Chain A
Amino acid sequence: MSEVWDAVATRDFRDWRGLPRDARYADFDARFPRLTDAEARGLLGSANEIAYYRVHLAEGYPQHLKAWRQDTRLVLIEATLPVLATTLPELTAALGEPAALLDFRWDVLDVPEGVHVHPDRGIALFVGPEGQLLRLSLFAPCDLAEYMATRRTTDRLVERP
């Protein structure tokens, strides 16, 4: 387990093989301090699965780590604007061809085919129009359908009236 957390901590995902299916949130929680003890409830994927998340702190993640759990399992880690240990081309070269390119939205900007999904490697890269890494998702290896149904986060914010 510790090599999984080490990869997160060192921000080097070239050899990333996904979160273990039975990854325990408590282990992650013990390794990465919480920003706040409060926990939120949200929905994951097109299946709208209920999951809970906390924000955890780690060096090199200026917007922190959003860790999602279902029961005791850690199922998804999201990081916005992470500072990788490698360049993005080094990472994408190591990961190979993505299984799918999905659209995402960055504030009010639509980024078509910007999400490079590697379901078998348990990682999705949200790549901006200028080729920079805007967001990173880490999860257990699965197929594309399972990623879409239970791991993809698409909620977009709308301005309040």
Chain B
Amino acid sequence: MAPERTAAVARSAQRKDGQGEDGQRGRFVSAERVLALQGAAGNSAVGALVQRTVGDGHDLRGNRFKGNVTLEAVYDGERTLQRGATGLPVTILQQALADAAFASTVNGQFGPRTRDAVRAFQTAKGMTGAAANGVLNAATMDLLDQHFLGHAPERAIATDPTRALTDGTRALSPAEQAALRAAVTTEQRAPGGALPTFHQTIASSPDPYEVRIRDALNADITAQHTRLVTSRPPRTPANLMGAAEIDRVAGRAKAVTDAVFGRYQTGPALAFGLNIRDQFDVRSAEIAASPAAADAAAAWRVDKLLQGEDDIKEIDRQHGAVQSRAAEAALIAPIRTAVIAARRAELLAIHRNWPASAGGGEINLQRYRGPTAAANRNILWRLFSTVIHEYVHTLEHPTHVTFREAQAAQRGGFVLREGMTDYFAKMVWDGLTFDTALRAHIEGTFHDAANPTAHPIPPPARYDEWINAERAVGIIGVRNAMAAFFLGRTDLIRM
């Protein structure tokens, strides 16, 4: 879909879902829904079915299954999958059974072995008698969906000490390769390709498009400046986390990750001053070294808002605007220039104080402490989850890096880099027990010993593309995904 169509679809999906039906940010839900609709849009014959089965408020939750029209229909009780069925839904089912340790061949054909595997799963889940019939029905689909939500089956495979690392991997069929390609592609295509008609003024707003964009930009910059700059304490040593504190958290991030993937690969822990650096210091030096770099940073901040901020996307949608189109671009260009000039100092302060950036196993982050013990606990938990993600990056096999670098960003390159990393990081995170010992280690001096488990732990920030990664794993299996990522067996993710 063209971006403006996507934005509209995303918003309508988000309204329908509400924020966080599954406890995640609304942005996740909407991105997922867009993908589901995109997948459906490619096949007009199933359009009516899609209306009823995807986005009907009763949807599968695991990304392995979510959005697959057939599996959603099974979940809705509108059909079953049983002996004789063929195709991608059967492949996904068989791979799930295999990843859940219910012996299953994965060949896209629902035969007696698949029936037996479904029956074994049903029995293991306490279904008895006629209910354990080897047919994938709504109740069984629900149980299978739930089975993978915390990624316990994948962890069991990763940590099984008796298994050779490539045991259970398999070559992908051409159909599976095509499905994998589709799963990791985030390129947006419009069904008809038609762009919306631009209206500089609309009935619902007294201001023309460019005035609304200018006002929104200014409001966004003010909000970011308040959140990231004026709320920060002075940069005195007492207000900044030290190397020992950061290294303590980073060391535990390595330990918990090694506990899951250590059989595949381990690496050195990240450390402050080495591959964890102070973003404020790094960016201050970069900006100070080059006026052109400062100019670029100020402009880049405004462009990021123009392209990504929700309020601006909403204005674009209401006006049918496509910022790259000549008419709209002509209106935006002078506003962009004026805002960059007028708010330059604030934009550079925002840039220096942006929470974190990362790549290649290196992280730049802010070392600011928070105003309260609770705020400091949250800062440390976010540091912990971020370092888990970055540590996983350092475990990626060079052959996998080379493989994904050969893919365009939106055709697998980004999903295999950030999405797969985040999926593995989520496997680690979801297996953690947030007991007193772990809390005390991460929270350090801010640990509340009197009331250790009363405090909520902030959920990790994730790239939306982890969803695509898990969908891909649903097709190729977690054994293939881990062998490719950690061991460089990219022949197992050929696409």
Contact = CB atoms under 8 A, between A and B. Distances in A.
A128 interface: yes
B357 A157 contact: yes
Interface stretch (A8-16, A37-45, A91-99): A37-45
A134 B268 contact: no
A43 B296 CA distance: 28
Nearest to A52: B268
Interface string B234-272: 000000000100010000000000000000000111111
A118 B204 CA distance: 62
A63 B243 contact: no
B289 A81 contact: yes
B115 interface: no
A160 B285 CA distance: 20
A132 B290 CA distance: 8
B247 A129 contact: no
Main SS of the interface on chain A?
loop
B355 interface: yes
Contacts, number: 114
Contacts of A134: 289-290
Contact of B359 (A63, A130, A157): A157
A156 B358 CA distance: 8
B156 to A, nearest CB: 28
B248 to A, nearest CB: 13
B354 interface: yes
B229 to A, nearest CB: 16
Contacts of B247: 38
Nearest to B396: A43
A36 B272 contact: yes
B253 to A, nearest CB: 13
Nearest to B299: A108
B23 interface: no
A73 interface: no
Contacts of A130: 290-292
A80 B270 CA distance: 20
A160 B359 CA distance: 9
Contacts of A47: 398, 402
A93 to B, nearest CB: 22
A51 to B, nearest CB: 10
B271 A40 contact: yes
A160 B355 contact: yes
Contacts of A39: 268, 274
A41 B275 CA distance: 9
B462 interface: yes
Contacts of B462: 161
How many B residues touch the partner, as a band? Answer: 35 or more
A109 interface: yes
A40 B268 contact: yes
A145 B71 CA distance: 51
Interface in B345-370: 354-362, 364
A160 B357 contact: yes
B292 A109 contact: yes
A63 B285 contact: yes
Nearest to B401: A48
Given A108-B300, A129-B290, A161 B461 contact: yes
B297 interface: yes
A106 interface: yes
Contact of A132 (B289, B386, B405): B289
Nearest to A160: B356
B287 interface: yes
Given A107-B283, A109-B292, A157-B364, A35 B398 contact: no
A53 to B, nearest CB: 8
Interface string B381-397: 00000100000001000
B297 A38 contact: no
28 contacts: A36-B272, A36-B274, A39-B268, A40-B268, A40-B270, A40-B274, A40-B361, A48-B399, A52-B268, A53-B274, A63-B285, A81-B285, A106-B289, A106-B290, A107-B287, A109-B293, A109-B296, A128-B290, A128-B293, A129-B290, A129-B293, A155-B362, A156-B359, A157-B360, A160-B356, A160-B461, A161-B462, A161-B463
Given A54-B274, A156-B359, 5 more contacts: A36-B272, A39-B274, A48-B402, A50-B398, A55-B274
